């Protein structure tokens, strides 16, 4: 199912709903017919029982002698068949002990001569109620009703059994005719549903196909056109707006990428230019100086001219060297100057820029290290910027800056309760140009690591997403 297209899924879903609805209606119809037939047979058997009870009551009241269980069969026998014919009903009479005494079914093949003890027990427990036993023989269901016959004094005389066969032939014919008509209607509905499913699925997926084509054509390095759809649904319109917004962001990203690529290319060019310019400078300078020494042995006139010439060349060479050095400095991050630095005071001053942020500083004591103040401030600024941005979506942000150390090292840790770093990104966190932010070049942490390693230190971090993230920078400590 997951390999089917959206159009096929919509089509199958609609047809499936129609088929399931049809089956449910057919099932409910059959169940309703069955319930109605069962209720009809129960009511019909009950009516026959009541008619038979009234007939027996009249016969017993007109009897010339007192009716007892022993003479009941003799008194009732002359009227038995007449009763059966008039009421259109067959019945059997059993003694109180369950032995068959009389039956209107003269040609009965398998009469029950003795009632089961369980049946007698049930009758004795509820003498005023009738008991119905339902059985099925050769696919025909039969209801057998058992109840007591009482004399005028209310004493039981015998057990009367009325067998009744459920004749569902007429009901079955009606049900079959109804189901045939229902199937005909369902076939028409299914054809209509197939047509509607094709139309609806095509209408829904037409816009999605347009979006799919556009997405396949979308490239970062080329100009992408936006999608314009009319009379689209709310969901499709939202998707189109999201795509168009993505196109705008891609254009901005392409501009930033081009700019970044140009800057990288410029830096590489600066390095190459610096290298190419510096290579001939030293031999040129040495050659001119040597030539000046040789000429110095001649006349003073030549000495003056050559000296002026060599001074001019040397000045130009120094200018070219300065330009090359400037290019080289642009291409590489300055290393700064190393000095005995009060780390505690420098960090405190750097944190004064973040007075509005939820920062807490803890310094165990005053620490010194062989560092450059500017580079240490850069480290603090980068770590603080990352911590503040990580806490941007936290209701109660908290940033703890801790200075601690031992006899060999001084460490600076910055801990925040922001969103943290996922497991998948931890191996790339110090890579140059890698960033999870929407802005920036991803050089901050890479620069922090480079500065720390340049001064013999190291950087490490630990993160529990949405709980706490802690960066720690350590340097060799001095007294």
* pLDDT one-digit tens code per residue, 212-248: 676 666 665 566 676 666 666 666 677 777 777 777 7
Is residue 131 exposed (0-12), middle (13-18) or buried (19+ Cβ within 10 Å)?
middle
Strand partners, 160: 93, 147
Q: Provide the pLDDT for residue 195.
A: 85
206 versus 309: which is more confidently predicted? 206
191 versus 314: which is more confidently predicted? 191
Task: Name the most confidently modeled range: 266-275, 295-304, 444-453.
Answer: 444-453
What mean pLDDT do residues 105-124 have? 76
pLDDT above 60: residue 372? yes
Q: Quick one: pLDDT band at residue 414, thresholds 50, 70, 90?
A: very high
pLDDT above 80: residue 388? yes
Task: Name the most confidently modeled range: 72-81, 93-102, 423-432, 465-474.
Answer: 465-474
Q: Provide, rounded to the nearest whole percent, the portion of the chain with pLDDT above 70.
A: 70
Q: Quick one: pLDDT band at residue 479, thresholds 50, 70, 90?
A: confident
Q: Provide the pLDDT for residue 124.
A: 83
Q: What is the DSSP letter of 330?
A: H
pLDDT above 90: residue 404? yes
pLDDT above 50: residue 326? no
Distance set, CA 99 to CA 54, 72, 113, 120, 164 (Å): 23, 14, 6, 11, 20
CA distance 61 to 80: 15
Mean pLDDT of the chain: 76
pLDDT above 80: residue 114? yes
User: 241-249 — which CB contacts under 8 Å span 24+ positions?
Assistant: 243/211, 243/214, 243/215, 246/218, 247/218
CA distance 376 to 368: 12
Q: Quick one: pLDDT band at residue 477, thresholds 50, 70, 90?
A: very high
Expressed in angstroms, the distance from the first to the final Cα of the chain is 72
CA distance 85 to 82: 5
Q: Provide the pLDDT for residue 411.
A: 94
Which residues are within 8 A (CB) of 349 and not within 5 positions of it... i.e. 6 or more apart? Answer: 377
CATH 3.40.50.460 fits 339-478, yes or no: no
Q: Provide the pLDDT for residue 475.
A: 93
pLDDT above 80: residue 352? yes
SS3 315: helix
Q: Provide, rounded to the nearest whole percent, the portion of the chain with pLDDT above 90.
A: 7
Q: Provide the pLDDT for residue 108.
A: 58
Q: Which of 21-30, 117-126, 171-180, 225-234 has the lowest mean pLDDT?
A: 225-234
Instruction: Give the pair of three-digit tokens for residue 298.
Output: 């001649």
CA distance 457 to 330: 25
Which residues are within 8 A (CB) of 96 and not within 5 positions of it... i.e. 6 or more apart? Answer: 69, 156, 157, 158, 159
pLDDT above 90: residue 390? no
Instruction: Give the pair of three-digit tokens for residue 275.
Output: 């290298």
CA distance 239 to 215: 12
Q: Quick one: pLDDT band at residue 412, thresholds 50, 70, 90?
A: very high
What mean pLDDT do residues 7-28 have? 81
445 versus 403: which is more confidently predicted? 403
Taking alpha carbons only, the member of 337, 364, 473 closest to residue 409 is: 473
**Residue 273: enclosing H or E segment and its boundaries?**
helix 234-295
Q: What is the DSSP letter of 80?
A: H
Tens digits of per-residue pLDDT, 247-294? 777 777 776 776 676 667 566 666 656 655 665 565 566 556 666 666
CA 193 vs. chain centroid, Å, equals 31
Torsion sign (Cα): 230, 232, 237, 241:
negative
Tens digits of per-residue pLDDT, 88-109? 888 888 888 888 888 887 655 5
CA distance 291 to 306: 9
310 versus 94: which is more confidently predicted? 94
CATH 3.30.450.20 fits 72-167, yes or no: yes
Q: Provide the pLDDT for residue 330.
A: 42
Answer whether 0.75 is exceeded by the pTM.
Answer: no
pLDDT above 70: residue 116? yes
Domain boundaries, the chain: 1-62+168-217, 72-167, 235-331, 339-478
41 versus 442: which is more confidently predicted? 41
Taking alpha carbons only, the member of 407, 405, 416, 388 closest to residue 343 is: 405
Which residues are within 8 A (CB) of 446 and not within 5 positions of it... i.e. 6 or more apart? Answer: 430, 431, 432, 433, 434
Taking alpha carbons only, the member of 85, 82, 101 closest to residue 93 is: 101
Strands 399-405 and 359-363: parallel
């Amino acid at each position: 199912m997951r390999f089917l297209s959206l159009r096929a899924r919509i089509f199958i879903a609609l047809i499936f709903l129609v088929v399931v609805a049809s089956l449910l209606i057919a099932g409910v119809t059959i169940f309703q017919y069955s319930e109605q037939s069962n209720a009809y047979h129960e009511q019909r058997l009950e009516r026959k029982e009541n008619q038979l009870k009234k007939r027996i009551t009249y016969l017993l009241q007109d009897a010339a002698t007192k009716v007892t269980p022993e003479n009941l069969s003799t008194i009732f026998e002359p009227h038995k068949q007449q009763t059966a014919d008039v009421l259109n009903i067959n019945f059997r009479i059993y003694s109180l002990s369950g032995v068959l005494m009389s039956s209107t079914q003269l040609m009965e093949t398998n009469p029950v001569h003795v009632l089961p003890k369980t049946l007698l027990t049930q009758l004795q427990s509820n003498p005023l109620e009738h008991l119905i036993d339902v059985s099925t023989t050769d696919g025909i269901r039969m209801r057998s009703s058992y109840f007591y016959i009482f004399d005028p004094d209310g004493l039981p005389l015998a057990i009367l059994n009325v067998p009744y066969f459920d004749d569902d032939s007429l009901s079955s014919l009606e049900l079959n005719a109804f189901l045939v008509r229902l199937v005909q209607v369902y076939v028409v509905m299914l054809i209509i549903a197939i047509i509607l499913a094709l139309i609806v699925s095509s209408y829904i997926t037409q816009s999605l196909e347009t979006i799919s084509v556009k997405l396949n054509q979308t490239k970062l390095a080329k100009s992408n056109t936006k999608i314009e759809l009319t009379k689209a649904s709310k969901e499709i319109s939202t998707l189109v707006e999201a795509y168009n917004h993505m196109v705008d962001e891609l254009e901005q990203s392409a501009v930033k990428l081009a700019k970044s690529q140009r800057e990288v290319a410029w830096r590489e060019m600066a390095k190459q230019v610096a290298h190419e310019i510096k290579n001939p400078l030293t031999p040129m300078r040495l050659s001119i100086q040597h030539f000046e020494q040789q000429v110095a042995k001649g006349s003073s006139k030549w000495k003056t001219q050559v000296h002026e010439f060599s001074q001019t060349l040397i000045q130009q060479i120094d200018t070219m060297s300065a330009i090359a050095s400037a290019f080289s400095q642009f291409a590489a991050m300055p290393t700064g100057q190393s000095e005995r630095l009060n780390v505690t005071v420098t960090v405190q001053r750097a944190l004064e820029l973040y007075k509005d942020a939820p920062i807490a500083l803890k310094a165990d004591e005053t620490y010194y290290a062989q560092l450059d103040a500017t580079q240490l401030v850069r480290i603090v600024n980068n770590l603080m910027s990352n911590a503040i941005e990580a806490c941007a979506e936290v209701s109660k942000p908290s940033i703890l800056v801790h200075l601690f150390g031992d006899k060999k090292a001084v460490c600076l840790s910055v801990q925040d309760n922001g969103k943290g770093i996922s497991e998948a990104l931890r191996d790339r966190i110090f890579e140059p140009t890698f960033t999870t932010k929407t802005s920036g070049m991803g050089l901050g942490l890479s620069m922090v690591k480079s500065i720390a390693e340049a001064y013999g230190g190291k950087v490490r971090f630990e993160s529990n997403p949405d709980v706490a993230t802690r960066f720690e920078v350590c340097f060799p400590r001095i007294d």
